[in-house]
Amino acid sequence: MKTRNHVIFFDVDGTLNDPVKQEVPASVAGALSLLKDAGYLLGIATGRQMAGIPADIKALIQWNIYVCNNGQTIYDRNLQILSCTHMPKELVEKVIESSEKKGCPYCLEVKTKDGMYLLDDPINAVVVSYDFFNLPVPPIKKDIDLREAITLIMYRDKSDGFEDLAAMKEFSVVPGMVDYVDVGLAGFNKASGIARALPFLSKNKYIAIGDSLNDIEMFDESNIAIALAGGAEEVKDHIDFLSATPADDGILKAAEWILSMDFD
């Protein structure tokens, strides 16, 4: 089997899974096997924490590495932590304080190693966002230890804006698909996480496959960038190949294109 220098990293939501049906299309497992058989190592790069990656995604193939929490956590193939950077408690409190000062309805979601939790009762923006992804609203844990936080999601009505958070130099703030923003530590994103993950695999090149705004840095730093149709329009300016939607065998078509190009 040919040894490849590129690792292929896949986003989860809207890429490996169909965001409408919230299921993995039947053609995905076979597509991943084709790439493995061709000598590529495969990884996941996601904004989700490890506990939030669906079991059917983990079971698709023997993944070689996982980049989670938009680059703040890295796991090996056996789900052992290689690197994890927590958000300091005082920065979580700063996000809460800013939202209180703004005076608009808000809800904060905290992502930890063990799961994701709302700090208070969900507002409409939370319900709308989880309805969009066809997922259940996370549990409420008002007494959570904020020192466990890795990344955050802030929910507000879009009309209330997130400019206060975006202006804070301590954070990386990425707009979501609905009424929320991902809040991580400045300097961390999927690209920075992949850069720290590649040495664990003794590789220095990668192919990025995604669909959303938090994939743009990953696309820009990759050697080859592929987007699935149906995602954020903005990503089209950052890619080398546009595949089909997940439901229309987008991963399989992306795999076929990669194999036809025969990247090293």
Task: Please write the tens of the pLDDT for every residue from 28-81.
Answer: 999 999 999 999 999 999 999 999 999 999 999 999 999 999 999 999 999 999
Tokens coding 17: 């899974």
Residue whose structure tokens are 């796991």: 75
Whether 50 and 37 have beta carbons less than 8 Å apart is answered as no
For 48, which DSSP code?
A: S
For 227, which DSSP code?
A: E
Burial classification of residue 101, based on how many CB atoms lie within 10 Å of its CB (0-12 exposed, 13-18 middle, 19 or more buried): exposed
Amino acid found at 155: Y
Average pLDDT over residues 150-174: 95
Q: What is the pLDDT of residue 41?
A: 97
Third-level CATH fold of 6-85+189-261? Rossmann fold (3.40.50)
Average pLDDT over residues 121-140: 93
φ, ψ for residue 200, nearest 5 deg: -65, -20
pTM of the model: 0.93
Task: Please write the tens of the pLDDT for every residue from 184-241.
Answer: 999 999 999 999 999 999 999 999 999 999 999 999 999 999 999 999 999 999 999 9
Residue 1 has pLDDT above 80, yes or no: no
Residue 102 has pLDDT above 80, yes or no: yes
CATH 3.40.50.1000 positions along the chain are: 6-85+189-261
Domain 89-185: give its CATH architecture. 2-Layer Sandwich (3.30)
β strands within the chain, DSSP E: 6-10, 41-45, 65-68, 73-76, 81-84, 107-111, 116-118, 151-155, 171-175, 180-185, 205-210, 224-228, 241-243
CATH 3.30.1240.10 positions along the chain are: 89-185
Q: Is pLDDT larger for residue 157 or for residue 86?
A: 86
